[in-house]
Structure 1
Amino acid sequence: MSGRYKAYGEYKDSGVEWLGEIPREWSVLMGKRIFSSIRKTALKDDVQLAVSQKYGVLPQSLMMLLNDSKVMLALKGTDSFRHVDQNDFVISLRSFEGGIEYSKYSGCVSPAYTVLNNVKKISHNYYKYLLKCAPFISALQSTTDSLRDGKSISYEQFGAICLPLTRLSEQNQIAAFLDHETAKIDTLIDKQQQLIELLKEKRQAVISHAVTKGLDPDVPMKDSGVEWLGEVPEHWTIKKSKYFFDFVTSGSRGWADYYSDDGPIFFRIANLTRESIDPKLISIQRVTVPHGSEGVRSKIQKNDILISITADLGSVCVADNSIYDGYVSQHISLCRPNELVKSSRWLAYCIISDSTKEQLLGVGYGGTKIQLSLEDIKEFILCFPPLDEQEFIASYLDKELLNFEKLDDIAQQQIELLKERRTALISAAVTGKIDVRDWQVPVTQTESDEVMA
């Protein structure tokens, strides 16, 4: 940590690799001397708890509200489950990679979990931080190959790891310090995440305005005749998307038999995003091209427009040199623009605009679609500017979206730096690398004014 925090006056070698040097007054005990393994049978009225690295220990009902896909309710009762008291700690395979989870709830967990209860008087809040800090997690992982063989860590493995122990008052002070400081960091992270969401909204607004209102604020407008579209430039027309394509098709099932390590790209849902009209090539599948009409029909040409028709409906990209001569899956609609389209990128921006999203969400359909047909793709209502304006709009949006991307990258970097600082601060405090015994909650200006009054 930086010089903002002072160190203890004297240190000693803990004799424990993951702890290193600790304050001279601190002691070290094996985990089994601080925590015991509890095998108490679930009580009749216990609620079933779920454990995850992201959310910690929560009632199943609350975990499901948070959309945790790993939540599974016991179908045959909880007779074999283990009781958890408030302030117990829980180890599970799912949370093991991220440390050991603290429970502020009472309830029960399945036998796949190890329940820990303190046998010494401790600050649960302090150990909540300690058992989730990076050095401890590394020490925990080094004791077992459980992540590889599919078994959860045992109490014996946990109990053999040495943990620091200091006075209860000092534990409470460290925990109070971390509560305050991590809350400040979390607030800054939230602000950056809010900024990212605002950038997404602004980005979408810029796209939608450009493709439905144009770039000239002084151009005469007219009623489009479409209620949700409103006014459009007077010299533009309204057309269905089928008039912009030579054909609209998709891949078919059965391509898995042609997967290979070499060959052309097989373009899938994973290669599309609503965040960009460029291909997302993080995860690439390649194929050996089948003979016959199927290979010809679903082959990508440069400037084709690819649209998702199942998951994340309406995600779009324009085929560039990176996917030229590739092939599409059955989940992708391959659309080939005709002579009315001078810029495929303009047309792609139209499709990811809010005006098209409105159509996906029910306007003109009578309900939210969960899958698009090729006929649906042909029925999108789009604004049609002259050819030179298509290129102008596409060029403008390319430039604007690049600026948004840069701002987004800066915000993401700030979040990562804040997370790194949070991790480092927790590790330094719980292992005694910084001395916070004299720390006090800073007095705000408002509080100071109240005191003076």
Structure 2
Amino acid sequence: MTTLISSPWATQRARFLFRRRDVRGVDAPLASATKDGVVLRSDLDFSVWNPESNTSNYKLVEPDDFVIGLRSFQHGIAHSTVRGNVSPAYTVLRPTPSANPRFYKYYFRSQLLISQLANITQGIRQGQSIDIEAFQNLHVAVPSPQEQHRIADFLDMEMARIDHLVARKRHLIALLDERIDSRILELVGASELVRPTSGSPVLPLRRLLSKVIRPAQANLGVVTAYRDGQVTERGTRRADGYTLSASTEPQGQFVKVGDVVVHGLDGFAGAIGTAETKGNCSPVYHVCTPNHAGDSRFLARLLRLLALQGYLGNFAVSTRERAVDFRNWDLFGRIPIPVVPLAEQREIGEWISKVRPIRRVVEQSTELAAERRHALITAAVTGQFDVSTASGRNVTEGVTA
């Protein structure tokens, strides 16, 4: 008999609190389990999903169901707020009246529970998933209905408080980014036009940037272009979705600080920026340096903006599902790009440089908020403190830093 975590409450086997349900053939939108819970695929990043020809065997999931999917142990068991159909490889669980779904939504995301779930997995590496039979035999804490409700109310309030603090900081960055992008659009005009409205000249991209290919260097981390425009060594950010072992081996090409880096497949979604750290990147990237004393910070931001505006996609000759393939440099380098005077390039480049340290502070604050969120959830659902006497000011201390 395995006890999931220590708590002051009675326990029951999970099978008595959550019933497996298997309803198929229902007309409902596609959904999937994510680290943020079960969500409709239509609300997810559109480049993640491929069209599927036959979904008749998919399982119905309803609001307040829980879903165990591939590698669910990494983020807990996903709680659903939507009605949809999920992969037949998933296990759908319906809570019994003894299990308040709002409480167990947090309980299943507590850090101690996640570590226990990792011990009942089957398969290897990327194929690991929770052993359903082992999960059903686990003993889970069962506070009284009143206590479950009280803890859920407390955590709802505190999660909303933390999320609000994070959202305020992100809004500040968004306003600064909007100012920069608005200034660029003033200079280059409407992105759907080949020639900018300002009447400035237009040159092929390869006249503004030169593609460089340097051998990868040993003992360096993997540089990644993220969709928010940051290009940095992967270890400085969350590495979800990547094979960490790859970071120990030289791969692809060497990137210097200040290079303009364009992801050949995800560039359409904003994965374009100036390298903030040196390292090695995949061959799918274009690593470039400016010609004619151009400002790399400005040129990277201009390309990212034109990609997000849909301008660059107009020149693609092949596409994936709702995505644009930029991997062919010969074709990509021919795209006509508005030419902005060097003085304006450097002015905007300085703006970009001034925003970066502010962005780093916000990122650090966001990471701290995530850590405190996990710690707070774990403490509350394991009875480490009485939520009826907990101070909101104390539990969120440090998030406002």
Indicate the TM-score class for this superposition, using the shorter chain for normalisation: 0.5 to 0.7
TM norm structure 2 = 0.68
Asked if 1 retains the 8 angstrom alpha-carbon contact of 2:71 and 2:130, the reply is no
Matches within 5 A, 1:76-87: 76=54, 78-79=56-57, 81-87=58-64
Contact kept in structure 2, 1:36 and 1:117, CA below 8 Å: yes
> Which residue in 1 is equivalent to 2:385?
434
1:52 maps to which residue? 33
Q: Partners of 2:357 and 2:70 in 1: how far apart?
A: 38
8 Å CA contact 1:35–1:120 kept in 2: the answer is no
Q: Which residue of structure 2 aligns with residue 223 of structure 1?
A: none
For residues 132 and 327 of structure 1, what CA distance do their matches in structure 2 show? 33
Partner residue, 1:423: 374
Structure with larger Rg: 1
Measured at CA, do residues 151 and 333 of structure 1 come closer, stay the same or move farther in structure 2, by a change above 3 Å? closer
Q: Which of 267, 276, 285 is residue 312 of structure 1 equivalent to? A: 267
- 1:84·1:115 contact (CA, 8 Å) conserved in 2? yes
Question: Aligned pair 1:413/2:364, yes or no?
Answer: yes
Query: How many pairs are equivalent?
Result: 361
From the superposition, tell whether residues 349 and 71 of structure 1 become closer, same or farther in structure 2 (CA, over 3 Å): closer
Aligned residue number for residue 148 of structure 1:
125
Distance in 1 between residues matched to 2:112 and 2:67, nearest whole Å: 19
1:282-361 → structure 2 map (5 Å cutoff): 282=234, 285-286=250-251, 311-312=266-267, 315=272, 332=286, 337=291, 341=292, 343-344=293-294, 346=295, 348-352=296-300, 354=302, 357=305
Unaligned runs of 5+ in 1: 1-14, 213-225, 231-237, 289-298, 443-453
Closer, same or farther: CA 374–335 of 1 in aligned 2, 3 Å: farther
Partner of residue 320, structure 2: none
* Alignment partner, residue 128 of structure 1: 105
8 Å contact from structure 1 (residues 328, 334) kept in 2: no
For 1:146 and 1:47, locate their aligned partners in 2 and report how far apart those are by CA, in whole Å.
30
The alpha-carbon distance between structure 1 residues 47 and 229, as it changes in their structure 2 partners (threshold 3 A), is: same
Deviation at 1:349, TM superposition (A): 4.3
Verify the 8 A CA contact 2:265 2:284 in the aligned structure 1.
no
Q: Distance between the aligned counterparts of 1:91 and 1:420, measured in 2?
A: 23
2:56 partner amino acid: T
Q: 1:247 to 1:167 in 2, by over 3 A?
A: closer
Separation in 2, partners of 1:305, 1:72: 30
Q: Secondary structure at the match of 2:386?
A: coil
How many Å apart are 1:187 and its aligned residue? 1.5
Q: CA deviation at 1:304?
A: 8.9
Structure 1 residue 88: deviation in Å? 2.8
Q: State the match for 1:185 in structure 2.
A: 162
Asked if 1 retains the 8 angstrom alpha-carbon contact of 2:297 and 2:352, the reply is: no
Counterpart-to-counterpart distance in 1, 2:84 and 2:335: 54
Q: Does 1:89 align with 2:82?
A: no
Contact 1:239-1:384 within 8 A present in 2 as well: no
Distance change in 2, residues 1:54/1:176 (3 Å): same
- What residue ranges of structure 2 are gaps of 5+ in the alignment? 189-194, 235-246, 317-323, 394-401
Q: Give the match's secondary structure for 1:418.
A: helix
Please report how far the alpha carbon of residue 156 of structure 1 lies from its aligned counterpart in structure 2 after TM superposition.
Answer: 1.7
Instruction: Please tell me the root mean square deviation across aligned C-alpha atoms, in Å.
Output: 5.0
Corresponding residue for residue 293 of structure 1? none
Choose from 316, 333, 337 the match for 1:380: 337
Counterpart code for 1:34:
L
Q: Structure 1 residues 27 and 76 mapped into 2: Cα distance closer, same or farther (>3 Å)? A: same
Shift in alpha-carbon separation, 1:208–1:164, aligned structure 2, 3 A: same
The one-letter code sitting in structure 2 at the alignment partner of 1:45 is V
Which of 92, 95, 104 is the aligned partner of 1:115? 92
